[in-house]
Amino acid sequence: MEPLQENLGQLDTEQRNPRTSELDRLSVLELVATLHAENFTVAEVVERALPQVAVAVEQIAARLEQGGRLFYVGAGTSGRLGVLDASECPPTFGVPRDLVQGIIAGGERALTTSIEGAEDSPEQGVQDLEARQVTALDVVCGIAASGRTPYVIGALEYGKRIGAYTIALVNVKQARMAEVAEITLSAVTGAEAVTGSTRLKAGTAQKMILNLLTTATMVRLGKVYGNLMVDVRATNFKLRDRALRIVMSATGAERSQAEDALNLAEGEVKTTIIMLTASVDVGTARGRLSEANGWVRRALELSD
């Protein structure tokens, strides 16, 4: 890998924000209002990236359908956000825990402890992907506000070399990562409220885009019916109650009827919806789901 040009002072995220130049002189109410005002710029910046986000979603969904996986790779705040988004996919969408994985420079300890030097090794980025046996079927999404984190670039270069689809999620113009990745999701949030603190606007933009990537992908994989999370796994009281309410909302069934059907279907929300809507037994409902590749709407259009 070519040496990185360390002109970090030129990065968009390192500039000083004139709107927040006197934070320490403000009253508490003025302070929180000034900080919050900066957040209003984030959604507009993310909106400009939507065409690229849509392309990325199409690629992710296509590869996951073929048995691939999605890997988020980042350091510091970016890495933690990737791990957070990945960890929330199984309970929300009922997917295996290895389908979406977050990899952070410095490993699990970096989730709660700052390990600043971990981001400077591109070789470690390669090794962490190799340890997960990343293949050409997979997607590697590198996340870095600066667009130049060596650890992330190393991972992206490795992903590209083996044929994985590579995505760069950055918060600056002319990002080094854009030279490596097949597509760049650029949300240029500009100068931070506290100079250089990219856990603020840049981090918020990253979280919004990661939400879009996984949520839209899961919809495209049939994990959502209407706007209901029909592959939810009822692993605690809250989720069991949610599963029941989802069935009731989707079918119009009374609580007792929905509960009985859900028990017959062994907690499978999709199966229960088809049973109640199409008036079929568990086996027939499961068969239709299988034929429809897990899509509830398509399964409901089928008949014996």
* Residues labelled as active-site residues: 88, 119
Going through the chain in order, the beta strands assigned E by DSSP cover: 70-74, 100-104, 139-144, 165-170, 183-186
Backbone angles phi, psi at 136, to 5 degrees: -65, -15
Beta-carbon contacts of residue 215 (< 8 Å; ≥ 6 apart): none
CB 265 within 8 A of CB 250: no
Closest by CA position to 159, among listed 240, 113, 103, 120:
103
- Looking up tokens 């899509």 gives 295
Residues listed for the chain: 304
Provide the b/e sequence for 42-68 (b: ≥16 CB within 10 Å).
Answer: beebbeebeebbeebbebbbebbeeeb
CB 26 within 8 A of CB 19: no
Instruction: Say how far apart CA 234 and CA 53 lie, in whole Å.
Output: 30
DSSP 8-state assignment for residue 191 = S
CA 40 to mean position of chain CA atoms: 21
Instruction: Say how far apart CA 288 and CA 256 lie, in whole Å.
Output: 24
> β-strands 100-104, 139-144: how paired?
unpaired
